[in-house]
Each structure stands twice: as C-alpha cells, then as structure tokens.
Structure 1
Amino acid sequence: MEIEQRTIDFIPEAERYGKERDLFPVWFGANVNLTSLVTGALLVSMGLNLFWAVFSIVVGVSIGTILVASHSVQGPRLGIPQMIQSRAQFGVLGAIFPMLFVMFIYFGFSVSNTLLAAQTVSGVVAVPRSVSIVVFTLLSFAIALYGYKLIHDTQRWLTWIACAIYAVVFVIVLSDPPSLDFWLPVATKPGLVFAGIGVTCTFALSFAPYVADYSRYLPSNVSSKKVFWYTFAGIAVALFAMMLLGALLAVQIPTFSDNSGDSLAMLFGSFSPILYVLIICALLCINVFNFYGAFMAVVTTIQPFGNMRFGATQRAFVMIAIAIANAVLSYFGDGDFSTMFLNFIFLMSYALIPWTSINLVDYYVLRHGKYSVADIFDPDGIYGRYNPIAIAAFVVAILAEIPFISMYYYTGPVAAYLGNIDLAWIVGVPVGACLYYFPMRARLSGTGSVQTATQ
C-alpha cells in the first residue's frame, strides 16, 4: 500500500471511486469508541437522570449531525478537503483564522483519545503512562501517514467487530437495568438540560471541519441525498447507542468516569482482554482522523505562502511534528480527565458553531454549491486574500457568545442571571449566519459573479 499522493489539492474525476454507502462504516466506526461513551457518562455526572440524558442525546446529536452531514455533501461536489473550502468564505489567507481554532479541536480530541488509551493500557499492563502515550501516538502517526484509503479500510473492519462486542456490552448492562426511578421525567434544572444538549450537539458537530475530507474522493455525480443520509446514519446511530451506553454505565458504576476503559473491560470478566484491545483499536481509529485533519489544516495554512507541494517526504515531516506535539501535550495534560474534557467540549463549541453557520449559509443559501475551485487556491482569485465580512461575522459571533457562557472557569453575566444555563452554542448560530448572510448577499448581488464547481 502506497502513501496517499493527494493532500489539499482537487481530486480529478479519473481518480475518484466508491459509493455513498461507503460513508456509513467510516462514520459509524469513528464514533464507536470510549470517547463517545465518556461523553454520555458526562451527562449523568453533570446531574441529569437517564430520562433527561437520553433527551439531551437525541436532541443534541440530531442537531449536530444534521449540520455535519450537510458539510459532507460538499466533498463530492467540490473534490477538496473541508477546511480549504472555507477560503471561499474567509479569503485564501483569511481562512487561516478559523483554521487555528480547528487545529485546537484536532489536538484537543487527539490528546483526549491518547489519554483515554493510556489510561486503559495501564489497567492491563504495568507500564508507565508515558510509554503508552508514545506507542499510541506512533500507531496513530503510521496509519494517518498512509492516508485516505487505509483510514477507510480500517474503519470498515472495525465497524462490524465493534457492533458485535458492544452488543454484548448492552446485553450485560441491561441484564441488571437501573430502577424505574432513573427513567422518570423528574423536574430538573433547565440549565442542565441545555448544557447536556450543548455537549452532545458539539461532540457530533466536532466532525464538521473534516467530514468532507472523507467524501471528496467520491464521484461528483453521486446523490447528495444519499451522501447526507449515509453520513447522518453513521454518526447518529453510533452516538445514540454509545452515549446511551455511557449514561447507563455511569448510573450502574458510579466510578466509571474515573477509569472508564478499565470499568468497561471488567464487565467481561476473564474475557476482558478482548474488550481492552477493542477499546484501544477504536480510540486509535478516531485518533487517526485527528492526525489526518491536523495535517490537512497545516498544509492549508502553509500553501498560500509559497504554493508548496507536499509529497511523501514533506507529508512525513509534518506528521512527525504533529505526533511530537500530541505526545508532549498528552504527557502534560494527564490530570483530571473528566473536567478537562468537558471544558474542552464547551470551548470548542464557541468557535465551531459560528464557523459552521457561515460555511453552510454560503454553500446552500448564497452560492448554491457553485464555486471556482481553481480560485480557492489562488490568493489573487475571485475570493481574494481576506474577506472582512466573514472574519467580522466570525469574531463578533464569538464575542456575542461570551455573556452566555457557563463553564467551570468562567460564567458570563447572562448565563449567571439565567441560573448558569449555557446558551452560547445557540447564540452563535443566528449571529454568525445573519452577520455573514446580509452583507455578503449585497456584495454578490452587486458583483453578479458566477462561479462553477470545476477545476
């Protein structure tokens, strides 16, 4: 198997292959992992009972996944990675600004997955966590280096293995179900429910910055509806199941969040090594997404300044730098995982939601999917170097969210007045969308520019 030759450049029609249904195992496999379980467990740790935890999962995951699947449609139509398409909104150089926030997301999830893997390994083998961190990082590096095809193949076989094993976990957990009291729609603080929806929505939405990376090799004439629904089904079905299982485990095992991998594996008794292997493999598969996405982000950031070409050697150097950064951050981030992860999810949402609203409004409402792909790579093309409209909308939307933020380290005045309800993720959508849509519509109407989705 050879290293992927393409990076952020346009995928010619002759090199495209696959079917819409190929997206289901990619996204199902990406979400059948311990990180998804821990997210479901967090809802119970926050104070929600099972009824409100399930409500938050269904509502939040549905909202987030609808947005992610809408981004996935862009891949076959444009034939380029997700974040480089942001140049059409922010400008070729201006897109670097949201790219920095996206890099934070990649590294945040990568560190979270690495720490969970190291935590799990320590429950099986008596090795220092630093060794587990290095080994897990090297494995992530190796798969991500080879790129698109190996990632697809890895997710495909993982999907069916994970389905079988986690089905057994469900049977074990439901053999001694929580009492009816945990399932009743008892009165609870609205702030907790909104926070729960925000956590699950943001977790699902975290795939938006790289979802089109895994659909861009599909032929341009595939069905957009099928691309949407196979992506939606892969993410939503996996997250519904895994987050529910995480919430159930948090109820039945109060210390589950302290060492989730060990707690889960112990359910299998003498067969626990099987689950340990699955947990680590699943975390490895999703961590590869973060390495691959971080690589794409770095290349997208560097490319406009010298029109550099990234062959196998350059790809390896960038990947090595990403691997080193991941190992170092994981080593120094090994502390209170639950608190760190919850605050990371909230922080991620404050930048991710304005970006996704701007991108989707531009693609579906303003330009109707018609772009000049060649100009996306040209700083002097029709999209320019910077688009002050998009940059201003992005920044103002983030600033507008601040009064509504409710975190462990900071609570905004509006959030405090409402009883520590975090509504920032709701505020970011209309503010970002409106501040971008109206001035951009006026500009496009004035220029009368016509674009096509061709190279």
Structure 2
Amino acid sequence: MGTVSADSDPGRTGLPTRPGPGGVERRSIDPVPADERHGRPFNQFTLWFGANMQVTAVVDGALAVVFGAHALWAIIGLLIGNLLGGAVMALHSAQGPRLGLPQMISSRAQFGVLGAGVPLVLVIIMYLGFAATGTVLSGQAINALLHVDAPAIGIVIFGLLTFVVAAFGYRWIHALGRVATVLGIAGFAYLTIKVLLDNGPSTLLGNPHFDAVSFLLAISLGAGWQLTYGPYVADYSRYLPADTPERTTFGATYAGSVIGSMWSMTLGALIASVPKSTFLDSQVGFIGTLAGPAAIAMIIYLVILVGKLTVNTLNAYGGSMTILTTVTAFTGRERVRPVIRMACVFGFLTVSVIIALVASADFLDNFKNFVLLLLMVFTPWSAINLVDYYLVSKERVDLPALFDRSGRYGSWNPTALISYAIGVLAQIPFLAQTLYTGPITKAMGGADISWIVGLLLTAVIYYPWARRTSNPPSDQQFAR
C-alpha cells in the first residue's frame, strides 16, 4: 500500500539515524526512515492502556454520576461513548506506520501547509488544558507521598518529571507506558475490589433509574475522552515498520485505550456512588483513604503518579510536536534539532505548570465543560482527516509537499477550512455548556449530542466536495 512519494527520501534530513546518548530521540516532525523503524504493535496497547489507567479518567467517569446518571447507566453510557470514540481515535493511530509522521503534520494534506495552523492552535490549547488539569491532581499525589501541604511543591516536581521523559522522547515514553500498565493493573484491581467490598455491589449499582439526559452526557464524556486523543496517536505509532498491518495497529490501540479508560471510568462511577462520598472535595485524597492503611495508600499514590506521568508526557511531547509543526509551516524548515525540541517541551511545561498553579478550585465542573467544549472543535478535524486519508486520497500522501507551501497541498485549502468551520458552527445549537445552552439542546431537556453532529455533518459536507477539488497523488507516484 503506497504511502510515500516514489521520489521522496524519508532519511533526507541529515540527522543521525540512531537515538543519541541515553536513547534521546533525534527526530521530531520529519519522516522516520525505514532503517529507524522498530517496535511491535503490542507496544501501542501498553502505552494507551497505561495512559488511561489514571486518576483523570477516574474523574471523568465520576462526572457522569455527579451530574445525574445512576452508576449502572453511567457505566453503560461511558462504554458506548468509549467504543464509538475509540474507533475514530484508533483509525488515526493506523496512519502512523504508513506515513512515519507525527499526527498533526498530516493535517497539511487536508488544510494546506499554513491552513493546518487553524486546528493546530486549538490542539495546543487542548494539550495545555489537559496538562494543567492533570498536573493539579498529580501534585496532590506527590504531596501525599512527601507529606507536604504546599500545592506548588507537588506541581513543580511533577512538571520536572514530565520534562525528563518527554525530552528523551519516543523510546522512554513507551517504556513508561509499560511500567504504567503493570502498576495500573495492580493498583486499580485493588481499588476496584476494595470499593466493592467496602460498600457492596447492591449499594453502588442497585435500584438503577434511567435518565436520558444524563445517559447522553455519559456517552459524550466517554466519546470525548477518546476523540480528544485523535491529535496524539500517530505520534506514538510512527516508528512501527511501514508494513505493519493497519488492522493490527488499529486493534492494539483500540483495545488498550478502551479497556484502560473503561476500567478507570467504571471505578470513578462506583466511587462517586459511595454514600456520603467526599470524592468531590479531594479526588486524590479520597482514593488514598479508600486504599486503607498508610503503606498501601502510599503505593496507590505512586500508581496515580505513574499513570498521570504517562499521559502528561504525551501532552508535553505532543504539544511540542504541534508547536513545531505550526512554526515550521511559516519558516519552511523540514527538520528540527533535538535541542530545539527539548526547549519546546520545557517551554510548554512551564506554561502548563503556571496554569496549574493558578487553576480554579471548581475543578470538576470546569473539567467537564473543557472536555465537552473540546469535542466541538476536534470532531470536525477528525472527520476531515479520516475521510480524506481513507476515502479521498486512499492513503496516498505526498510527503515532500507537506513541507512546501508551493507544492501539491498549497498554503490554504478552502474546502477543508470551510467544511471545518461549518462543522464547528453547526454544533452551537446542540451545545450544553455552563455559559451557553443551545436551543435544540434545551428542547431535548439538556442532552448534548453536538459531537455526533460535528462528526457526521462535517464528513457529509467534506467528502463530495473534496472528491471534486482535491489533488491526491496517483498510484504511479508511489512506491509499493
């Protein structure tokens, strides 16, 4: 299956073809050549499983109960959302081995070299938002481990730990994912059993009452969790050999992300259903108390820390890649040296730590609205990227043209940009936010289905339009 131009040379950057001292990653936004491809698809499972076995996913699951759903229906709704959103997310992951590129630079094939900056800026905001909110919770875990009270201490330490892993890059990130998987299974198995034994399944899951609005909210929370991973995933599959079967990459990513997130969200729904639960007051503290004896609580805090470190490393690494992709669209550079990438990681984390230090105390409500708002801007991007790659271009991407404003994809692509704008604007009547509730949502009793509208409508608009206006490379231009 052709994925690179026959006259392109993925190794043309002139950078060393092997990791630097200590395994420091040498590549950034440039294509990964064949002689540097390595790893197995199972590594995608451990990375995404480990990244989802973490406290923010627990909070996301708890939100479904906090905002009205019975635990049983919350779990079912979250499962539906994760299954649907996970399929979209894993389709992005399958692009990685074919293109050998970070996820967001491939957007230049749809939006144009400069036009891709529109969704890229929004992705950077997303990365910062998740990094900052995750850092708040991680700082609580570090403070509990160190027995200190000043929130700034844990937040700053966590930022430094994230920098170390993200600066070293790809191999270290996958290694951390394997560690997070092992610790996550052990720690979350203990917590799940503990909450069920302490309260009883009948107390937590008994007398289920169904409410359509909160059920749809649970679906949206699950789907939103998965869909916002779309800009991440190819970053961590791009080093796999180019002949890795798409279904294998898809399956490993899908299983890891959905199973990991559903376990965490199910635990969150159960915890939020504990009578007189104090989870809203202190998420990390409540989990520590649930763990029991101090020694076990310390282990659980370590599990929380490693899980959050894994996903925050993805935020920092992906955030730096997205920043570099945005900047190089204007500078015309095709490669970025490791020291620049590391400086970009450091700058990103500095901003996220500052945000975490001044974050609002009303964390849960802000987080719910943040996740749902992100759906509004990322579902149209996912629709355009996937429809173009799989249905219009049929997996043929002119890699050199991604770095050339006068090339095949040009600077701006009105087809994608207008379709994207329509996809975003069309969701406004369906929004259910604190500051604004759309008229259609009000008529539906508050149910938020904006993400479905954004995904399907954008695809329906973009596909026929792109079939007429796009300029995908022909089969003859590609190596088989």
TM-score, normalised relative to structure 1 = 0.96
Alignment of 1:55-66 (within 5 A): 55-66=76-87
Matched residue, 2:376:
350
Deviations 1:202-245 (CA, angstroms, capped at 9, x unpaired): 01112110100100000001111111110011001111111111
Residue 300 of structure 2 corresponds to residue 275 of structure 1? yes
CA contact (8 A) 1:77 1:453 kept: no
Q: CA deviation at 1:23?
A: 1.0
Counterpart of 2:278 (choices 255, 274, 278) is 255
Conserved 8 A contact 2:50-2:177: yes
CA distance in 2 between partners of 1:17 and 1:323 (Å): 28
Task: Report the counterpart of residue 75 of structure 1 in structure 2.
Answer: 96
1:399 aligns with 2:399: no
Selected match of 2:31 from 10, 18, 26: 10
1:121 is the counterpart of 2:142: yes
Match of 1:285 among 293, 310, 313: 310
Structure 1 residues 185, 351: CA separation in 2 closer, same or farther (over 3 Å shift)?
A: farther
- Work out the CA distance in 2 between the residues paired with 1:146 and 1:422: 40
Task: Sort the Cα spacing of 1:35 and 1:454 in 2 relative to 1 into closer, same or farther, 3 A.
Answer: farther
1:181-192 to structure 2, matched below 5 A, reads: 182-183=204-205, 186-192=208-214
- Any idea what the Cα deviations from partners look like across 1:52-86, whole Å, max 9, x if unmatched? 11111110000111011111110001110110001
Contact 2:397 2:472 in 1 (8 A): no
**Cα deviation digits, residues 331-387 of structure 1 (max 9, x gap):** 111411101111110111000111101111111111111111111111111111110
CA contact (8 A) 2:29 2:336 kept: no
- Equivalent residue of 1:48, what SS? coil
Please give the residue correspondences for 1:439-450 in structure 2 after superposition, counting only pairs within 5 Å: 439-444=465-470, 449-450=473-474
Q: Offset of 1:268 from its aligned partner?
A: 2.9
Where does residue 287 of structure 2 map in the other structure? Answer: 264
**Aligned residue identity for 1:98:** P
Q: Distance in 2 between matches of 1:85 and 1:275?
A: 39
Q: Which residue of 1 aligns with 2:450?
A: 424
The reply on whether 1:91 has 2:112 as its aligned counterpart is yes
The corresponding residue for 2:5 is none
Residue number in structure 1 paired with 2:198: 176
Contact persistence 1:82–1:210 (CA under 8 A)? yes
**Are 1:106 and 2:127 counterparts?**
yes
For 1:449 and 1:9, the matched residues in 2 are separated by 20
Contact 1:38 1:257 in 2 (8 A): no
- The letter for the 2-side match of 1:269 is P
Aligned to 2:343: 317
**2-structure distance, mates of 1:52, 1:350:** 24
> Who is 1:144 aligned against?
166
Are 2:45 and 1:20 equivalent residues in the alignment? no
Structure 1 residue 449: Cα displacement: 4.6
Question: Percent same amino acid at aligned positions?
Answer: 34
Residue 240 of structure 1 corresponds to: 262
1:386 to 408, 412, 427: 412
- Determine the C-alpha separation between the residues in 1 that align with 2:472 and 2:102: 27
Q: Which residue of 2 aligns with 1:154?
A: 176
Superposition deviation, residue 174 in structure 1: 1.9
Offset, 1:181: 6.6
Cα shift readout 1:79-133 (whole Å, capped 9, x = no counterpart): 1011000110000110000001111110111011101112333445223112221
1:305 to 320, 330, 349: 330
Residue type at the aligned position of 1:26: L
Corresponding letter in the other structure for 2:377:
A
Q: Which runs of 5+ in 1 are unaligned?
A: none
Q: 2:247 aligns with which of 206, 225, 243?
A: 225
Instruction: Return the offset for 1:185.
Output: 7.4
How many residue pairs end up in the alignment? 453
For 2:363, which of 316, 319, 337 is the aligned residue?
337
* Conserved 8 A contact 2:396-2:472: no
Q: Distance in 1 between matches of 2:80 and 2:379?
A: 16
Contact 1:3 1:146 in 2 (8 A): yes
* Aligned-pair CA distance for 1:423: 1.5
**Alignment partners' CA distance in 2, 1:203 and 1:146:** 26
Amino acid at match of 2:94: V
SS in 1 for 2:231: helix
Q: Return the letter of the residue paired with 1:350.
A: M
SS at match of 1:71: helix
CA distance in structure 1 between the aligned counterparts of 2:304 and 2:41, rounded to whole angstroms: 27
**Aligned partner letter, 1:328:** I
Which residue of the partner structure matches residue 319 of structure 2?
A: 294
* 1:49 partner amino acid: H
Structure holding more helix per residue = 1
Unmatched tracts of structure 2, length 5 or more = 1-21
One-letter amino acid matched to 2:402: I
Question: Take 1:281 and 1:449, find their aligned partners in 2: how far apart are those partners?
Answer: 44
Q: CA deviation at 1:316?
A: 2.6
Please give the alpha-carbon distance, in whole angstroms, between the structure 1 residues aligned to 2:299 and 2:415. 53
Q: CA deviation digits over 1:374-404, x for unaligned, max 9?
A: 1111111111111001001111111110011
Q: Does 1:202 align with 2:228?
A: no
Asked if the contact 1:349/1:425 (under 8 Å) is kept, the reply is yes
The verdict on how the C-alpha distance between 1:344 and 1:146 changes in structure 2, with shifts beyond 3 A counting, is same
Q: TM-score, normalised by structure 2?
A: 0.91
Q: Structure 2 vs 1, CA of residues 190 and 94 (structure 1 numbering), >3 Å: closer, same or farther?
A: same
Distance, in Å, in 2 between the alignment partners of 1:453 and 1:41 is 49
Q: Deviations over 1:20-57 (max 9, x none)?
A: 11211111111111011111111110111122111111
Q: Is the CA contact (8 Å cut-off) linking 1:374 and 1:454 kept in structure 2? A: no
**What is the CA-CA distance between 1:320 and the residue it aligns to?**
2.1
